[in-house]
Structure 1
C-alpha cells in the first residue's frame, strides 16, 4: 500500500522525534517501503546572516545531516532509509519533498495547540490540508 514514507522531524523537539521515526519505521517494515527522514532548517534573514561567521550555515547543515544519520541508524538496518535536509518554511518544504520524492504517506508529530496555532494554523494542519498524499499525525501522550 505504501512505497515511500516521509517522516519530517524537528531536531529541536527531541521528545517527539522517536515516536514519528518509530511509527514511520514500523509502517515501512509492514509495507516493504522506503523511509525518508527530513528536517527543515529555517532560512536566516540576510539582515541577520551578514553578522554571522560564514561557516555557521555550513555547520548547521552538517549538524542536521549528522543528527538525521543517527536517527536513520536507530530506525534499523533492515530498512532502506534516506535522509534529507532542506532550508525554508517547514510546511512548504515537507510538501515539496513529498511531491519530489513521490511519497505516498507522511508520518509526523504535532504538539498541543497554543492560541497562536489556532489563529495561524500549525505546520501539521497546513500539511494535512495541502498535501497530495495521506498524512498520519501523531499526538503526544498525556
Structure 2
C-alpha cells in the first residue's frame, strides 16, 4: 500500500519524536517501504550544526542508523530555510512532492484550545497534500 514514508525530523529533539520514529519503522517493515527522513534547517548556525551542509551529513548518518534498526531502505533530505518554523508546512508539502512520499509519519501534541486559532502542523499538512498523514502522540 505505501511505498515511501516521509518522516519529518528535528535532530535537536530526538527523544521527543522517538514514538513517531518507531511507528515509521514498524510501518516500513510491514509495507516493505523506504523511509525518507526530512530535516528543515536554518541557513545560520544552530544547536545541531554550524552549516546546512553539516546538518545534512548528520541527518544522513541518523537515517542510516535508523535503517539498520528497521532493515528497510532509507534516505534523507535536508531543506534550508531562513526561518524553518515560518513556512514549515509549505516546506514539508514541497518535500512530499519532491520525494514522492505517500505516507507521512510525524509527531504531534495533545489537542489544546489554541489549535482553533493556530492549527497544528499535522492537520495543516493533511489539508494540503494527497498523501496520508499519520500523527503520533507523545507518551504521557
Q: TM-score, normalised by structure 2?
A: 0.79
SS of residue matched to 2:139: coil
The aligned residue for residue 75 of structure 2 is: 82
Deviates most, 83-92 or 57-66: 57-66
1:87-106 to 2 correspondences below 5 Å: 87-88=80-81, 89-106=87-104
Return the alpha-carbon distance in structure 2 between the equivalents of residues 136 and 10 of structure 1. Answer: 17
State whether residues 4 and 103 of structure 2, in contact with CA within 8 Å, keep that contact through their aligned partners in structure 1. yes
Alignment match of 2:134 (pick from 129, 136, 141): 136
Q: Which runs of 4+ in 1 moved over 6 A?
A: none
CA-CA distance at 1:60 after TM superposition: 3.3
Question: What residue ranges of structure 2 are gaps of 5+ in the alignment?
Answer: 82-86
State whether residues 20 and 136 of structure 2, in contact with CA within 8 Å, keep that contact through their aligned partners in structure 1. yes
Q: Is 1:11 the equivalent of 2:11? A: yes
Q: TM-score, normalised by structure 1?
A: 0.78
Return the alpha-carbon distance in structure 2 between the equivalents of residues 71 and 26 of structure 1. Answer: 17
CA-CA distance at 1:17 after TM superposition: 2.4
Question: What residue ranges of structure 1 are gaps of 5+ in the alignment?
Answer: 45-55
RMSD over aligned CA atoms reads 2.3
CA-CA distance at 1:4 after TM superposition: 0.5
Q: Radius of gyration: which is bigger?
A: 1
State whether residues 95 and 130 of structure 1, in contact with CA within 8 Å, keep that contact through their aligned partners in structure 2. yes
Deviates most, 66-75 or 76-85: 66-75
Alignment match of 2:123 (pick from 125, 131, 137): 125
Return the alpha-carbon distance in structure 2 between the equivalents of residues 20 and 60 of structure 1. Answer: 26
Return the alpha-carbon distance in structure 1 between the equivalents of residues 80 and 114 of structure 2. Answer: 23
Q: Is 1:66 the equivalent of 2:57? A: yes
